[in-house]
């Protein structure tokens, strides 16, 4: 595949999506540089997941174009790994088999796939849980398996749809820090969807704000100039963090209110 | 708790059996119409002692297993195909519903005509019952595949046959397996009803012979043997099911350790 190194990793040009008569998102233009961590925030039901599905190639947009490293996207996005909001593990496979699957589908030899999956499970802190089935794991552990399942394939782009939304606060901060540590290793391009502004600022280089649906669009785009590496719990207490938070919240608040008014 | 349930079950059985026995012995009900447990037990013992029963049991078991396997394989294959091919499914839908609405007993004489008095006609009858159970469950199982898991598999690079292997089949497996318990029951019904209506061997034949000479003891003895036979088959299937579906959470034990 021809790839343009200078081209943005993700480029959305005038992208809209409809479900029947319902317009989910309208006229979205968004760019993410290679290696950039972009968080997308917005009120519930603003079409953030719709956007990720478009970038993943799971559902082509009704209008507009998606370019991945300069190439127009047709079909599934083979450069992207997707961490879903809901449980996406295969319940009939053990943790190890779940992590191995992507490699097997890429015709990696079974023995090698098993070895590499073992390493990745250890990397996400689940050594010793290889033979557990998803139902035997806690919510946080399932997310770790899902993360290993996606990262083992070394995608250039990571799409994350409120991945930690269902976790308790402590587990969540732990997972956020681990995500940052893993991301620091090879700086993938990340699109991270969340409705939690604090999480967005703590993790991302840039925070993009979506308006309330229907016909959501981008209403704000903020750089987050906080030093890395960050600790998500500590960074929240810094003056700079609070300043950015106030700035974005004043905008996001209106959208949240509008979403509630509906 | 479990022990208590078992105890109550045994007590209930004893109560019923003894109640029956003494009702007959005290002359409250007529032994000609109702026989009595001690006679039935003696008859069953006699069947097993003389070895007379084994031939019948074997034939019924053989018919049951054949109907079970053939019907399940056909049902699963058709279920898979129609669940994944919307057009074919839309076209065939009314035909399948119409065929399923036919009371199978009506088919028994036709099958006897077509396939003779032997094993084949009973298997055919059982297949018409088992097929639909396996078919509907497989179809439903495929339709209820978790869309997130499916999307995940596609993002990880699965397509076509790989989706079938890693997502659709395992996902439908719990539906298919729960259908197996029902299916084995239906397979027995097919075999026994077929034998009852025309055969030279089998438990259904045995019962029908006893009825022919107003031998109520024989009828009840046949029914008891049949019931035990079905319970054993059901137990065997549930063991296989438990072995193959180890990944499934036990009801009420979702979550596990933190």
- What pLDDT, in 10s, does the model give residues B9-64? 999 999 999 999 999 999 888 888 888 899 999 999 999 999 888 999 999 999 99
Q: Are B171 and B149 in contact (CB under 8 A)?
A: yes
Residue of B nearest to A148 (CA): B156
pLDDT band at B166 (very low <50, low <70, confident <90, very high): very high
Question: Mutual orientation of helices B37-50 and B216-244 as an angle, nearest 10°?
Answer: 70
Residue of B nearest to A152 (CA): B156
Q: Which of residues 96-155 of B touch A (CB under 8 A)?
A: 148-149, 151-155
pLDDT band at B103 (very low <50, low <70, confident <90, very high): confident
Q: Do B153 and A138 touch (CB under 8 A)?
A: no
Mutate which of B146, B149, B152, B161 to test chain A, going by most A C-beta atoms within 10 A?
B152
Residue A172, in any domain of the structure: no
What whole-number distance in Å separates Cα of residue B103 and Cα of residue B124?
A: 14
- Residue pairs between chains A and B whose CB atoms are closer than 8 Å: 82
Q: Using CB atoms, pick whichever of A84, A92, A135 lies closest to residue B152.
A: A84
Tokens of A132: 């557990």
Q: Give the pLDDT score at A258.
A: 81
pLDDT band at B255 (very low <50, low <70, confident <90, very high): very low
Mutate which of B144, B148, B156, B241 to test chain A, going by most A C-beta atoms within 10 A?
B156
What whole-number distance in Å separates Cα of residue B205 and Cα of residue B118?
A: 12
Give B147 to chain A, closest Cα distance, Å: 9
The overall average pLDDT reported for chain B is 88
Helix segments in chain B, DSSP class H: 2-25, 31-34, 37-50, 52-84, 86-101, 107-115, 119-143, 147-155, 161-163, 169-197, 203-212, 216-244
> Stretch A196-217: mean pLDDT, rounded?
88
> Stretch A124-128: mean pLDDT, rounded?
89
Cβ contacts of B5 within 8 Å, gap of 6 or more: none
Residue of A nearest to B171 (CA): A92
Q: Give the pLDDT score at B258.
A: 36
pLDDT band at A252 (very low <50, low <70, confident <90, very high): confident
Please give the domain boundaries of chain B with CATH numbers for all domains: 55-244 (1.10.3720.10)
Residue A113, in any domain of the structure: yes
Q: Do B156 and A87 touch (CB under 8 A)?
A: no
Domain of residue A105 covers 89-154
Q: Give the pLDDT score at B250.
A: 66
Cis ω before A229 (30° cut-off from 0): yes
What whole-number distance in Å separates Cα of residue B73 and Cα of residue B127?
A: 10
Chain B residues within an 8 Å CB radius of A136: 249, 256-257
Residue A216 has pLDDT above 60, yes or no: yes
Q: Do A88 and B152 touch (CB under 8 A)?
A: yes
pLDDT in tens, A160-176: 998 888 788 888 888 89
Q: Give the pLDDT score at B41.
A: 92
Q: Which residues pair with A81 in a beta bridge?
A: A158
Q: Do A82 and B155 touch (CB under 8 A)?
A: yes
Q: Dihedrals φ, ψ of A70, to 5°?
A: 85, -10
Residue A142, in any domain of the structure: yes
Q: Give the pLDDT score at A37.
A: 93
Residue A37, in any domain of the structure: no
Chain B residues within an 8 Å CB radius of A106: 157
Residue of A nearest to B160 (CA): A105
> Stretch B160-187: mean pLDDT, rounded?
87
User: By the CB < 8 Å criterion, does B212 face chain A?
Assistant: no
Q: Per mean pLDDT, which range of A120-129, B108-117, B120-129, B171-180 is the poorest?
A: B171-180
Q: Are A93 and A117 in contact (CB under 8 A)?
A: no
Q: Give the pLDDT score at B256.
A: 42
Residue A36, in any domain of the structure: no
pLDDT in tens, B124-159: 999 999 999 999 999 998 988 999 999 999 999 988
Q: Using CB atoms, pick whichever of B247, B257, B258 lies closest to residue A133.
A: B247
Residue of A nearest to B252 (CA): A135
Cβ contacts of B31 within 8 Å, gap of 6 or more: B24, B39
The overall average pLDDT reported for chain A is 89
How many domains does chain A divide into? 1
Q: For a pLDDT cut of 70, what percent of chain A falls above it?
A: 97
Chain A residues within an 8 Å CB radius of B175: none
Residue B253 has pLDDT above 50, yes or no: no
Tokens of A168: 């308790």
Q: Give the pLDDT score at B240.
A: 84
Q: Give the pLDDT score at A5.
A: 63
Query: What are the CA-CA distances from residue B194 to residues B119, B123, B186 (Å)?
Result: 9, 8, 12
Chain A residues within an 8 Å CB radius of B162: 105
pLDDT in tens, A220-236: 898 988 888 888 888 88
Q: Which of residues 168-187 of B touch A (CB under 8 A)?
A: 170-171, 173
Chain A residues within an 8 Å CB radius of B251: none
Cβ contacts of A190 within 8 Å, gap of 6 or more: A36, A37, A38, A157, A158, A159, A160, A183, A204
Residue B249 has pLDDT above 80, yes or no: no
Q: Give the pLDDT score at B257.
A: 40
A207 in helix, strand or coil?
Answer: strand
Strand A189-194 and strand A71-72: the pairing is unpaired
A interface with B, Cβ–Cβ below 8 Å: 56, 58, 76, 78, 80-82, 84, 86-94, 101-102, 105-106, 132-138, 140-141, 149-150, 153
Residue A17, in any domain of the structure: no
pLDDT in tens, A68-119: 998 888 889 988 999 998 889 999 999 999 999 999 999 999 999 999 999 9
Residue A50, in any domain of the structure: no
Residue A148 has, within 13 A of its CA and on its CB side, a CA count of 29
pLDDT in tens, A32-48: 998 899 999 988 776 88
Chain A residues within an 8 Å CB radius of B163: none
What whole-number distance in Å separates Cα of residue B184 and Cα of residue B230?
A: 8
Q: Do A105 and B249 touch (CB under 8 A)?
A: no
Residue A131, in any domain of the structure: yes
């Amino acid at each position: 595949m021809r790839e343009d190194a200078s081209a943005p990793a993700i480029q959305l040009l005038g992208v809209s999506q409809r479900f029947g008569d319902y317009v989910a998102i309208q006229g979205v233009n968004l760019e993410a540089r290679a290696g950039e961590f972009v968080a997308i925030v917005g009120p519930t039901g603003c079409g953030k997941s719709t956007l990720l599905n478009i970038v993943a190639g799971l559902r082509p947009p009704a209008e507009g174009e998606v370019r991945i490293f300069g190439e127009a996207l047709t079909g599934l996005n083979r450069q992207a790994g997707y961490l879903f909001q809901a449980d996406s593990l295969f319940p009939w496979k053990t943790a190890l088999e779940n992590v191995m699957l992507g490699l097997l589908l890429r015709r990696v030899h079974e023995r090698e796939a098993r070895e590499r999956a073992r390493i990745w499970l250890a990397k996400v802190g689940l050594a010793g849980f290889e033979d557990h089935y998803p139902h035997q794991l806690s919510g946080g552990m399932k997310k770790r398996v899902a993360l290993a399942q996606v990262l083992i394939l070394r995608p250039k782009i990571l799409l994350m749809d409120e991945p930690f939304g269902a976790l308790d606060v402590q587990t969540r901060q732990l997972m956020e820090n681990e995500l940052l540590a893993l991301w620091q290793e090879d700086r993938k391009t990340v699109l991270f969807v969340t409705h939690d502004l604090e999480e967005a600022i703590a993790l991302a280089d840039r925070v993009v704000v979506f308006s309330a649906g229907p016909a959501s669009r981008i209403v704000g785009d903020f750089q987050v100039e906080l030093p890395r590496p960050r600790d998500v719990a500590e960074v929240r207490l810094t003056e700079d963090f609070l300043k950015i938070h106030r700035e974005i919240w004043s905008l996001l608040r209106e959208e949240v209110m509008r979403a509630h008014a509906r | 708790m479990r022990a208590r349930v078992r105890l109550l079950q045994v007590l209930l059985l004893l109560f019923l059996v003894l109640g029956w026995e003494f009702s007959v012995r005290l002359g409250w009900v007529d032994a000609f119409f109702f026989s009595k447990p001690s006679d039935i037990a003696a008859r069953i013992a006699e069947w097993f002692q003389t070895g007379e029963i084994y031939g019948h049991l074997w034939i019924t078991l053989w018919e049951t297993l054949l109907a079970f396997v053939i019907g399940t394989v056909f049902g699963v294959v058709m279920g898979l195909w129609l669940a994944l091919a919307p057009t074919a499914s839309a076209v065939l839908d009314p035909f399948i519903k119409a065929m399923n609405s036919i009371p199978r007993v009506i088919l028994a004489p036709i099958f006897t005509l077509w396939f003779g008095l032997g094993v084949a006609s009973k298997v055919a009858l059982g297949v018409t019952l088992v097929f639909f159970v396996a078919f509907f469950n497989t179809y439903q199982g495929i339709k209820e595949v978790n869309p997130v898991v499916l999307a995940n598999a596609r993002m990880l690079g699965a397509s076509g046959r790989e989706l079938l292997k890693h997502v659709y089949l395992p996902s439908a497996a719990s539906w298919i397996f729960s259908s197996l318990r029902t299916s084995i029951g239906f397979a027995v019904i097919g075999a026994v009803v077929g034998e009852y209506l025309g055969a030279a061997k089998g438990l259904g034949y045995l019962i029908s012979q006893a009825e022919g000479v107003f031998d109520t003891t024989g009828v009840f003895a046949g029914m008891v043997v049949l019931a035990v036979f079905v319970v054993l088959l059901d137990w065997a299937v549930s063991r296989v099911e438990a072995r193959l579906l180890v990944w499934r959470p036990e009801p009420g034990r979702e979550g596990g350790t933190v």
